[in-house]
Structure 1
């Protein structure tokens, strides 16, 4: 596994690469346009070639000159414009088309494996079939899966689309591990680590208090819980600590509420250290010297690293039943397992 040289397109804070490294792969490079992302990548992957620029303006040959041959290509193209995250703002087709850059890099680098990750909403995109068709024309066998991070030891409900590609075989299905499902309670820093404020103050937003009242009515006045902002799924704007965290995004959306010894509830926002645990990042992950808001964005943009660990291990595990390297390159087989794994439909 240590011989699997890996390059991370849209590397962000390094979630995919952290997962690949945990599986034994060697991270030799990454590219991202956002400086805090490449700063983070540099800190956590010393020795890797890091490019802080638009990968559309970067040539694969320039990458290979610094990294050497690439065996595994990781790609997490821009996803915001595939979802409702922008609200009523128009979606950008140019942003969506950054996903097609994986074709250009695959042609030049010829990696054995490719893992492309994105939101599930990418599937209806008009050019998604074209992306798969062109990868097949290059010679890749494909498998499409929707994986929920909570099935891989991550304390978060996070469903994402993964397109797996292998030049020699149809990739095996990635199966959940045997670890117990972790709850949001498991990510919390010890009580007293962070300052809190009284929930019921004159300046508190009415919507926030309404969320808290719904939670207290359901759980009782002695239970702790999370308020959930920016998104609705009929859950009332709160969630229990005894279930995995709802999907982490690029903005603060979770507030912890606990009853105080004086009978008054107190609250605080979840901190980057806690969100890092919710993403499955290792304890040794190093944040760059950026604002708290930028740290939250780094995490919310990332791939849950234990999911990528499971994917890379599955890709690199020999399987005679899936080995079809002798077949012609054109018209390579592909398989969709989008409905093959247990999942719960949870809104972001």
Structure 2
């Protein structure tokens, strides 16, 4: 098979492209309106033509002439106005409608394959069926599935919708039941001394934070480290064990590590390199642009590369060998926690 040429629209920092490249795709073009994202993308894909622009402002005909043949169209349209993370706030329909650009670019480039990634909550959107109908009218046969990144060696529970299309036949899906690797959050942590920590019970600490910590200690004891999960409203009580996949990374700073010490529990927020590992990025990928908040936003908006590697590999028939989960456990972990991690590996 000749080299698969790819175009990534809504490319973000490049997580989807990073995964697809591992399945043999050479990305010739990428577009996103966020300058920090496109700078990050360009740093990791120096040979790709990267455009910082809204899709509706791009001269698509000129882009076709510049890029030439495209075999795979990758897209991850804006998701905030689909997701439940928006809460009860009004949805911005113009934001959701950006997904229809996938049709325009598919019509212009006529790639054999296409992949659209988004939150699961995109499916009830009133124009979702219209989107699929438009793609079918272009000749694409479509299939969709919901995949959890934790089943693909990613130490994070992250469920996402993947809509795939093929012009030449029924698209191939992934047998997700054959994976179930599920590494744990302890895999991503740096050693305690890598980042500054502060006393958990210090002046000015929010009572809600202390309440979450108290619930964790009551459940697992004073000698076991854990995470506090901010902005959580589910039954976890606002904390989680280190022996499970990390809960879904969002665009806000929401995870703090709490560890025991002779002077009482100490805590710190998880750092960008740790969150990058929790998304499934390897240490080669560079997140060097923007503030800490900008980089966390890019991660929260991103795609887990191992999942996209599997999706594109199945779709194009170029799947590689599955990546083995890497164990990276900090020295702060209590012996009993390390034993639990070993048992779950």
TM norm structure 1:
0.89
- Could you give the per-residue CA deviations for residues 15-54 of structure 1, whole angstroms, max 9, x where no partner exists? 1000001111101111000100000011000010011010
- Please say if residues 279 and 305 of structure 2, whose CA atoms lie closer than 8 Å, have aligned partners that are also in contact: yes
Query: Could you tell me how far apart the structure 1 residues matched to 2:36 and 2:213 are?
Result: 34
Query: Could you tell me how far apart the structure 2 residues matched to 1:52 and 1:2 are?
Result: 29
- Could you give the per-residue CA deviations for residues 167-220 of structure 1, whole angstroms, max 9, x where no partner exists? 011111212354631000000012210000000112110000000000000000
Rate the CA distance shift 1:179–1:160 in 2: closer, same or farther, 3 A.
Answer: closer
Match of 2:30 in 1: 30
Question: Is residue 97 from structure 1 mapped to residue 76 from structure 2 by the alignment?
Answer: no
Match of 1:292 in 2: 292
Query: Could you tell me how far apart the structure 2 residues matched to 1:132 and 1:180 are?
Result: 32
Match of 2:246 in 1: 245
Match of 2:332 in 1: none
- Could you give the per-residue CA deviations for residues 144-184 of structure 1, whole angstroms, max 9, x where no partner exists? 10000000100000000010000011111212354631000
Rate the CA distance shift 1:85–1:207 in 2: closer, same or farther, 3 A.
Answer: same
Match of 2:112 in 1: 112
- What's the secondary structure of 2:116's corresponding residue? strand
Match of 2:267 in 1: 267
- Please say if residues 188 and 278 of structure 2, whose CA atoms lie closer than 8 Å, have aligned partners that are also in contact: yes
TM norm structure 2:
0.89
Match of 2:8 in 1: 8
Of Structure 1 and Structure 2, the greater helix share is in 2
- Could you give the per-residue CA deviations for residues 116-135 of structure 1, whole angstroms, max 9, x where no partner exists? 01100000001000111111
Return the offset for 1:64: 2.1
Return the offset for 1:293: 0.7
Match of 1:210 in 2: 211
Aligned residues: CA RMSD:
1.3
Matches within 5 A, 1:126-165: 126-165=126-165
- Please say if residues 248 and 300 of structure 1, whose CA atoms lie closer than 8 Å, have aligned partners that are also in contact: yes
Query: Could you tell me how far apart the structure 1 residues matched to 2:3 and 2:282 are?
Result: 22
- What's the secondary structure of 2:303's corresponding residue? coil
Match of 2:166 in 1: 166
Match of 2:184 in 1: 183
Structure 2 spans left out of the alignment, 5+ residues: 319-345
Structure 1 spans left out of the alignment, 5+ residues: 319-348
